[in-house]
Structures are given as structure tokens and as C-alpha cells.
Amino acid sequence: MNDTERFHAFDALRACALLLGIVLHATMSFLVGFRELRFPIADVSQSLTLELFFFAVHMFRMMLFFMVAGFFARLLMQRLGTGGFVKNRLRRVGLPLLIFYPLLLPLVVVPIVWAAKQQGMQPGQGGPPGMPPGIPWFHLWFLYLLLVMYVLLLALRAVGTRLDAQGRLRGIMDSVLRATLSWRVAPLLLALPIATVLYLTPSWIQMGGIPAPIAGFIPNAPGLFAYGSAFLVGWWIHRQQSLFDQLRRDWKLYVAVAVVATVVAMSLTDVRSHFTPLVMSMEKRASYAFVYVLGVWCWVLGLSGAALTWCSAPSARWRYLSDASYWMYLVHVPIVWSLQAWMMRWPLHWTIKFVLILGVAGALLLASYHYLVRSTFLGKLLNGRKYPRSLPLTPVPT
């Protein structure tokens, strides 16, 4: 494929991963687990349905995002070279983190304090559950982890180029990935090392699933290893685009196994308290770790194949959402949590309030992107260039 080829399926995957994050954060006030942990933004109407939804989507969302990030990282490296790649990533990832973090941090804290006052909590009693010590990144942790991954990638690439000048090792890795996908055992082999690391990490279940490095300058080892693995898989899929056909062929199988693995993982733990450490026997803990990570990889590969099957054609609407999703995800938490804090004591069923929160937040986020970002300097900062302020009504050229 030439340098101007645009991968519309991976644009769609990136948009879905970010937008699903907004939906997940909109569920938090309705989750029993958060209420039990004394998180201030806890609604009077709780929902086991949203607990199950949160558990399932939380399994794969960020692993899918980092797989897509690795895919686009190699694309940028090919197009821009090492120097251009570094400049691009500093401008599109580093600068937004530097700008938005100090602006958003107080806005994220305000709804928590507001909700704590409504709950009659004393200062310091409530906060995001499971927050480790160190500078809190909140939902912007993915930007910091991306920067860490880019540094490690450049170092690994420099060492690999010296030690594997003839490309033999890379050829072997190409063959291994191609063979494992062809034999449909890739999820098993990818799950084993990550499941082992998680099994050996006693506190990993505390935050539900793969632990995110949400605080501190040194990412936790299990999270860095797991998300770094997804990043490298994305890099290697871009390196071997012939694998697209195998992912298209097997996406239904992977999704089916992912659903089964998700149900089994749910049966091995109490979904309502998956944000607290669980006491498990060694055998049950090993089973849970393996089934969970197997489900993660089946979701990632299955959804990638589904996107390649259904979203490969140019689509103005997906392109628009892909561009908008970055801004929407960056600024959504203060809006969503403020709406939750405002509605949490209303005597209405959770279904009504959940729909209201998503509807109002979605409308505000899309409108702010369309009128304040898309055709402004913010649009150039986040999307690389300014786009005309027009609705996506016609397909865009490849």
C-alpha cells in the first residue's frame, strides 16, 4: 500500500475505543462496586446490568486502543521517518497532555467535591477508587503511557536494528505471527505471558482487569507489559497487512470465544465488587487470569476483523467521529461527572438518568468539537490540520 493509504477500519476502531470510554465513565455512578467503595458520585439507583456491561467492555477497550496505537505508530514511522515521528508524537500526544492536564484537573475534582457534600462526606473521605500514590493522571493516563511506549519503541528499534541488521529475527517474528493467526492459536499464545504476569501480581484484580497506570511517573509493570504487548501486535499487523484477510476470516470465531470467556470470567468472580481485592485459591486465580486475558485477545482480534470486514470503505461519518473522538474523550469527564452529581439524588430509574447523561454529554461534546475545535487551532493541534466546518454527508476520498 502506498504512503497515502488511509486505514478506515482502524480509524473506526480508534473512535469506538475512545467513545466507549465515555460510555463507561457514564456508568460509574450506577455501579454497586463504586458505591461500596464510598466514591462520592454514587446514584440512588444502582444497576447490575451496567455492572455486567462495564465488566465486559472494560476487558478489551484499552487493549484495543493500544493495538490501534501501535498500528498507526508504524504507519507514521514509515511516512515521516524517526525525526518526523518524534515531532509528530510530541505535538499530537505530548503537547495535549501538557496543555489539557492542568486545565482539566480542577474541573475533574469539582464534581467529586460537589457530590461529597451532597453525601455528607468529610474532606478526604471520597475519591476515585483504587487511586495509587503519585501524581494522578485520571483519564489522561493513556497519553502519558503512549509517550513512555514511544520512548521504549525508539530504544528497542535502535537496538534491534543493530543486532538484527539482516532482518532475520524480524522475519522469524513475521512467520510466527502469521502462523499463529493461520492456526487460530494467536489468542492463546498472546494470553499466556500476560496472564502469568497478572497471576503473579496479587493486587491486579483490585482495579478490575489489566491495571491501568493511572498515577505516578513510573507505569506499573503489569499494565506496561500488557498494553505494550498490544502496541507491538498493532505494529506487527501494520508490518504484515496480508494478515487482514485472516482477521476477516476468523472474526466471528474470535468474538464467539470472547463472549464465552467473558461469561466464564464473570462466573469466577463477583462482578459487583471487582474493584476490590478478591480472595481466591491459587487454582482459581490462575484460571481467572488465563480466561480473562484470553477473552481480552479474542475481543481485540475479533473486533479488528469485524472492522476490517464492515468498515474498510471510506466513510465521512466514521472519519468525522474518528477526528472528534480525541477531543470528546479528553474533555468528557468533567461534563459526565457533573451531570451524574447533579442527577444522582433524583428519584428516577437509572435507565432514564443514564440516557439523559449520555444524550446531554454527547450533544455538548459534539457541538463543542464542531464549533470550537474542528476548524480552529485546537483542531490542528489534535487532528493535525484544520477541517472545514461541514457536516459529514458524503464519502471522503481514500
pLDDT in tens, 73-114: 999 999 999 999 999 999 999 999 999 999 999 999 999 999
The SS3 assignment for 159 reads: helix
> Exposure of 223 by Cβ count < 10 A (0-12 exposed, 13-18 middle, 19+ buried)?
buried
Confidence of residue 398 (pLDDT cuts 50, 70, 90): very low
* Section 358-385 average pLDDT: 95
Of the two residues 134 and 337, the one the predictor is more confident about is 337
Instruction: Specify the pLDDT at position 328.
Output: 98
Confidence of residue 165 (pLDDT cuts 50, 70, 90): confident
Instruction: Specify the pLDDT at position 162.
Output: 86
Instruction: Read off φ and ψ for residue 99, nearest 5 degrees.
Output: -85, -50
- The pTM (predicted TM-score) of the whole model is 0.94
Instruction: Specify the pLDDT at position 2.
Output: 43
324 pLDDT exceeds 70?
yes
* Section 139-157 average pLDDT: 96
The radius of gyration of the chain's CA atoms, rounded to the nearest angstrom, is 21
Q: In whole angstroms, give the CA distance from residue 338 to residue 357.
A: 9
The lowest-confidence range among 52-56, 155-159, 268-272, 350-354 is 268-272
Instruction: Specify the pLDDT at position 34.
Output: 78
* Section 238-260 average pLDDT: 96
Q: In whole angstroms, give the CA distance from residue 95 to residue 371.
A: 22
Neighbours of 158 (CB within 10 A): 11
Confidence of residue 211 (pLDDT cuts 50, 70, 90): confident
Q: In whole angstroms, give the CA distance from residue 146 to residue 231.
A: 9
Residue pair 364/324 in contact by the 8 Å Cβ criterion: no
The lowest-confidence range among 99-113, 153-167, 268-282, 378-392 is 268-282
> Exposure of 283 by Cβ count < 10 A (0-12 exposed, 13-18 middle, 19+ buried)?
exposed
Of the two residues 272 and 366, the one the predictor is more confident about is 366
Of the two residues 253 and 210, the one the predictor is more confident about is 253
Confidence of residue 1 (pLDDT cuts 50, 70, 90): very low
- Of 169, 149, 172, 151, nearest in space to 160 by CA: 169
Alpha helices in 269-388 (DSSP H): 282-310, 316-343, 350-368, 377-383
Average pLDDT along the chain: 90
Instruction: Specify the pLDDT at position 3.
Output: 43
197 pLDDT exceeds 90?
yes
Joined grid coordinates for residue 344? 444522582
Instruction: Specify the pLDDT at position 315.
Output: 87
Residue pair 332/22 in contact by the 8 Å Cβ criterion: yes
32 pLDDT exceeds 60?
yes
* Section 150-177 average pLDDT: 89
Confidence of residue 238 (pLDDT cuts 50, 70, 90): very high
Joined grid coordinates for residue 152? 521504549
Residue pair 31/359 in contact by the 8 Å Cβ criterion: no
Neighbours of 367 (CB within 10 A): 10
* Section 194-219 average pLDDT: 82
